[in-house]
């Protein structure tokens, strides 16, 4: 497996939207359509990145850079590539970009029932920061998570 992470292009929007529909928005109204994703691809305050194994599209992430923090809007990895470091590589790429932009606070929401995603983010240093009731289309609660990139942990001896 040779994963390459690059900025998304406008013609990646349909594949990103479809992956979001299948892996993130399942059971909810579709909000991350190709036109919405394309908007973020061309938004200078956002980063949309894709992971490819050769020519195969295997994952993506979308982050919006705001004044005081960055917001990780979406992250998905194809099931056959999950737990193989692709999601971690996508998050670390975006965190590095945030640091370069002088932003050290990353925030995100995820479906409250998605405990696998909560564990994934916890392993990357994110902490629960609250909940948002009926955040997803008025149907499901969200867990809010955050990470302060300026805090450097040192290994224990």
Tens of pLDDT, residue by residue, the chain (157 residues): 689 999 999 999 999 999 999 999 888 888 999 999 999 999 999 999 999 999 899 999 999 999 889 999 999 999 999 999 999 999 999 999 999 999 999 999 999 999 999 999 999 999 999 998 987 877 788 999 999 998 665 555 4
What is the pTM for the complete model shown?
0.90
What are the backbone dihedrals phi and psi of residue 10, each rounded to the nearest 5 degrees, phi first? -55, -35
The CATH class for the domain spanning 3-148 reads alpha beta
The SS3 call for residue 16 is helix
The domain ranges of the chain are: 3-148
Task: Please compute Rg for the chain using Cα positions.
Answer: 15
């Amino acid at each position: 497996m040779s994963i390459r992470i690059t900025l998304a292009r406008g013609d990646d929007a349909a594949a990103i939207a479809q992956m979001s529909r299948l892996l993130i928005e399942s059971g909810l109204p579709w909000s991350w359509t190709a036109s919405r994703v394309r908007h973020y691809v061309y938004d200078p305050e956002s980063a949309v990145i894709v992971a490819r194994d050769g020519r195969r599209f295997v994952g993506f992430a979308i982050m919006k850079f705001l004044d005081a923090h960055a917001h990780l809007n979406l992250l998905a990895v194809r099931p056959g590539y999950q737990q193989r470091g692709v999601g971690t590589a996508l998050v670390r790429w975006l965190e590095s970009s945030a640091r370069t932009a002088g932003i050290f606070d990353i925030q995100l929401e995820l479906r409250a029932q998605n405990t696998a995603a909560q564990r994934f983010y916890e392993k990357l240093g994110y902490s629960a920061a609250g909940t948002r009731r009926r955040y997803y289309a008025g149907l499901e609660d969200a867990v809010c998570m955050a990470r302060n990139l300026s805090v450097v942990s040192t290994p224990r001896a």
